[in-house]
Structure 1
């Protein structure tokens, strides 16, 4: 699900791959259409071969995948057969490329063409919609913390782990995924508030984005591990209630209490999971971090 006028099913991605300042380098100029409906990529490339001062232009296609490795948020793969510039002998040269891209759509990549294989070359580009304006994506935000109530079990030693994200790409600045992240507790009177683990999901239009998260205490095997799936469509429904009538979602009761609370923010919807609660209630229980 995506807020109106903030994301598109298709975006245009234009830029270059290669060491452009080097006159002998091979530089790939690309103009691509990314379709988030099926994660497909299509478009054209213009390959400028610096050693023989020739240019080759042709069509390519491929896929875009989400990732969370080494600060990169998405990976593009491209393939195509690029025709020669000799009309008398119309040959086609195989072309393959890959790009690992950050939140600002810059990154690094590699390509193979005419027997030349390049790796770790810079990629620079921007995304646009059909009106040539920069695209602003909807953000579905998830945060997690512990209230560390007196009497709650292991309130100061709880951890979360994002085990899966669906229908979106994590934005730069998100907390780690697929690893334990300690849940911060409210600070003391003279203690600075700790940073709250937060994940920012750039959602795909027409698809219901979601997080899958577990809450556990790795040091206490008796603590009941709780797995929770948070769908953006559910958060939108919960946040639609007037604030005074809005209730918590209770995921675990008693001295292992876990709740969730939905809000609408300036870039999209926000959901906060709070663990370490003693006897959670439908109203109240919200931590102040």
Structure 2
């Protein structure tokens, strides 16, 4: 066991976790697998992240990487080939951003219609289903969700466009090589497939379904189980962090007490001391009695930084 191990904190049914699992498979990486609870309470998650509730996140020693856009960059730095960001696909990160937001929030209400819910949660006791719904309600509070009718119409249009993109025989969305965009679309359509009968919406799109099979063929790399207590011990025992710096001219200074909050959903602020800031990333230092001193990393896009007037640096 090493403080340099990639530790993915995830759960089986999480679509964004599937995105990361497939990227790990694409790069053929070994990784440690920590299963997190599907609903609150999540005390070990909070100890490591400071309250960030979205799944998944990746831990390397005492560095915690949140959001799959940033995790993709981390994996790219760890294993540059094959690349998630091929030089001939400069628009791939933009399509990935569209898929992780617009496509994702079309797929969720579409798949969570009664027929999809019945299939995905078959055998789950009614009280567990109610607990899941109660947990997610505040998590998405304030988010304007599509109706099933609107989501159905939009998903048909998106699936047709993606199928047309693949109709010339290309293997992946931008050509012969997969990119981060493929993985962002793949996890959304993987979730639709989990909905059983509602997945029929994809049936007419033969190019898209064949592409989906190619994506799943990447597999999940080389996972090895680890429990959350071991992950906490690794964080607490780490003697260093990834290098960071606060670049000038970005509105904040090193050492400031700040909060970092997602701008879409799961808007639980993470408070800490600013130790890293660039055009792409923000990093805060925080201390937990069990996890020790950790650096929590977020992408700059999709997150808001504010000075913490409460001076809460824990």
Smaller-chain TM-score range?
A: under 0.3
Q: Which has the larger radius of gyration?
A: 1
Higher helix proportion, which one? 2
TM-score, normalised relative to structure 2: 0.21
